[in-house]
Structure 1
């Protein structure tokens, strides 16, 4: 899903569009080192991991964006 679609999803859900964009980019990332940096940032910000309650993912832990 592109950034515009993520923003539209966020608008419907009533949440910050950057949260959805960041989750989508993290889900698309192939490089594990970059994923680890994103995960560290997510933890510092106190955001749920995609796939967890309130995280916007599905049961397999994958972001729907």
Structure 2
């Protein structure tokens, strides 16, 4: 599922969305070893590898909903 990188990282508990926007503009975030230089940036949470300052971010799997 493709989502904005700010939402994905905020949901993972990295930082707030505004702080993540600043990190992108500072050149601190990479997706699949490519520097993210502008917003919006969409990522696929099941396939993309996201790193901040070279450290890979482990994304929490989405909670399952049972009905």
User: Which bracket does the TM-score occupy, shorter chain normalised?
Assistant: 0.3 to 0.5
Where is the helix percentage greater, Structure 1 or Structure 2? 1
Question: Which structure has the larger Rg?
Answer: 2
Where is the strand percentage greater, Structure 1 or Structure 2? 2
Higher relative contact order (CA 8 A, sep 6+): 2
Give the alignment's TM-score, normalised by structure 2. Answer: 0.33
Give the alignment's TM-score, normalised by structure 1. Answer: 0.33
